[in-house]
Structure 1
């Protein structure tokens, strides 16, 4: 027997954009958009307040120059925020933007009525901006900024602060202190929950990767264990990291056994069922009846009606080939197997038996293989590569005829799957019989 040009057991683990292969590098523009959006809101409100005070008679303007200086400060901070996507190093001084906003709101307040200004509430935005950062120090920083906003009019125009105004300033400071404290605490708790979720996700991803590696290890990768009369090649490309498809082969007393299964669904749960079916079928190595392996597998995965797995089913094709070319096969609702004769003729190997988990009995069918005959069995994910209409099976059969050997067909299917974003597991197994090897042994 000539070994296939490439290892028969192949596995593709599709890694998502959050995979465990390392941190995902985002484009420069994405992580630095938040400062620009925050500053755009503050600058928009300050500019809108100045325009509304200018054109509306019932909004006083006590010092237009100071008011527009406040607008200028807010727009300057907006310009700096707009430069951050181009120069990400500016993120290091991001908190200078809300610091400038405190001054801008203070100037706006002085220019639009001082203590009577209706625009003091804008200061809550830079307060929240700073307080949302981790660390208790970010409670003190916005309070200092709020003091600047409240006291800036008295710096511009020194004078005696009336008692009622002093009380009002203290109350306003206490309110914004409460806002900063609550915001910082909520942000801290959200960060803790996010950190816990990230750790749990990393653990889960590590477990999924280990499951994928374990499933890969269960795929056969050594054809030397097979009799010289039999050649096998297979490929399994799951749609997710862990798939519900599997193929297998192992030697028997009279030849070798081959299996391809397709568990309903995808992911870890389907992969666990696939591993269980594979193991149980392997345990029937000394049983000559191919259907017995299916019966044992069905009993092995049987559950009570109330169990979560009670609705699961598995389609499966199990084949046993003797060294003299006698092939016995059993089909559990699979129906996706083709016997391609060496003379180019084809016949489908399928039965009316139901899948594992649904049916209760399976029967074996015997056929005889001649030199060069090949049996190709595959999952429905392979058919999806050829379309979704009713004649995809015929298109795949024609595709099979286009390749000289079964191994070439497997390689071609693998190339199609790897070039597409397939949403279902793609698995194919091809077994070729070489009668010439029998004559050589005799």
Structure 2
């Protein structure tokens, strides 16, 4: 978990490690690519051994030259050893094509030792052929063609007297067929590589846009409490489940004190983050001291005609005057608690509906005393406490032992960073310090 601190323990927002650390997927692909020659050669060597053993124990399979058969096995195993060495010595990967080149000779020996033209193991030549042809570059059509010619040339070199004209014609035709296979394989590999590169480019572009959206979202969170009256102490934290989340919190000064908002947009990701930015802006713009319902109503009206008309946002918006008088509206949120300095606590809830669903919101009034703390959270915080029906009460018990806003934010930061959470984790805490005596 990477933490971004916005101001001196004023607000914190964290994003998942995957958003800022190097991705594990490219590393996994690199390891897979490094071990691919070993896997390919293990298949070829295994089939070569099976062919040799089968020829030795199955009576209907002819063995015309046992030395050639086992010589092919030895070459295939030598290629397997070199492929294994490439895994431990990556610098040897430049010589990877030596392995399938040896396989062409090994298969040629196997073919010669098991009846030449009558050998049932000719199809094995397709394995090194596809291995080479699947690599990018048109030259990798020529290399397997040369290798195939070598496979067919091995019996001719070992027994030139056995060559007849009809066999020569058949070999030429077979080589042409294998060349066509190499060409098709290479073209399919080229098309797949182009699609992969295009997908990677699109992914990088999307990641760049998401990173920019995350920066914008972080910039929307308040980064200072210099304008907040000294009678109030404010702290907030946001841990998005993804790079961009749908939760937000906000605070800003008003004529008689300060206003505070915590919202939770339906959904996650960039779309939810955009809606969160719009709702935050609308609530701020329509701020009316002593009338929090006007801010929520204006935001709802703006959303009905905007891009988030089909989404809803739960929201808790409250305004605290310097004398402790607090007006608040709960728009379907239900996750705000008032912690009294004497140890009592109560939920600040209503039956009003979220923004995007409801049309009217009734304002409530509460008077805070010195040391009282208002805490509002998103439902992602409840997931840290089990996420079941008893989670709100477990969270309430947690608040009773973490009444200090700084301590509370630090504890939620620790909880959110210790487990994977599928929902955004957001908390806003405001403590009323009491009226400040005028300077003498």
Q: Do they fold alike, i.e. is TM over 0.5?
A: yes
TM-score (norm 2): 0.94
| Ranges in structure 1 where 5+ consecutive residues have no aligned partner | none
Q: Hey, what does 1:240 align to over in structure 2?
A: 242
Matches for 1:98-247 after TM superposition, within 5 Å: 98-159=100-161, 161-247=163-249
Shift of 1:17: 8.0
Which residue of structure 2 aligns with residue 320 of structure 1? 319
Residue of structure 2 equivalent to 1:440: 438
> How high is the TM-score relative to the length of structure 1?
0.94
RMSD over aligned Cα, in angstroms? Answer: 2.1
Give the corresponding residue for 1:358: 357
Between stretches 379-388 and 166-175, larger displacement belongs to: 379-388
- Structure 2: how far apart are the matches of 1:197 and 1:73? 40
Greater CA drift, 187-196 or 42-51: 42-51
* Aligned-partner Cα distance in 1 for 2:305–2:22: 34
Query: What are the superposed Cα offsets for residues 303-338 of structure 1, whole Å, 9 maximum, x if unpaired?
Result: 59xx8x554211100001111111000001100101
User: Residue 226 of structure 2 aligns to a residue in which SS?
Assistant: helix
The residue that corresponds to 1:61 in the other structure is 63
Question: Residues 218 and 28 (structure 1 numbering): CA distance in 2 closer, same or farther, change over 3 Å?
Answer: closer
Partners of 1:220 and 1:243 in 2: how far apart? 16
Q: Deviations over 1:186-240 (max 9, x none)?
A: 1111111111111111010000000001000000011011111111110001010
| Residues 20/68 of structure 1: CA separation in 2 closer, same or farther (3 Å cut) | closer
> Following TM superposition, by how much is the alpha carbon of 1:436 offset from its aligned partner in structure 2, in angstroms?
3.6
In structure 1, the partner of 2:3 is: none
Match of 1:360, SS state, is: coil
Q: What does residue 397 of structure 1 align with?
A: 396
1:335 alignment counterpart: 334
2:128 is paired with a residue whose SS is: helix
> Relative to 1, partners in 2 of residues 1:212 and 1:179: Cα closer, same or farther, differing over 3 Å?
same
Q: Which residue of 2 aligns with 1:346?
A: 345
1:80 Cα deviation after fit: 1.8
Matches within 5 A, 1:274-423: 274-302=276-304, 309=308, 311-423=310-422
SS in 2 for 1:236: strand
Gaps of 5+ in 2: 1-5
Partner secondary structure for residue 99 of structure 2: helix
Residues 358-381 of structure 1 show CA distances to partners (whole Å, capped at 9, x for unaligned) of 112111001111111111111111
Distance 2:285 2:394 in 1: 36
Moved more, 43-52 or 268-277: 43-52
Deviates further, 35-44 or 119-128: 35-44
Question: Could you list the per-position Cα deviations for residues 86-136 of structure 1 after superposition, in whole angstroms to 9, with x for gaps in the alignment?
Answer: 222222211111101000000001000011111111101111100111111
User: Across the two proteins, how many residue pairs are aligned to each other?
Assistant: 435
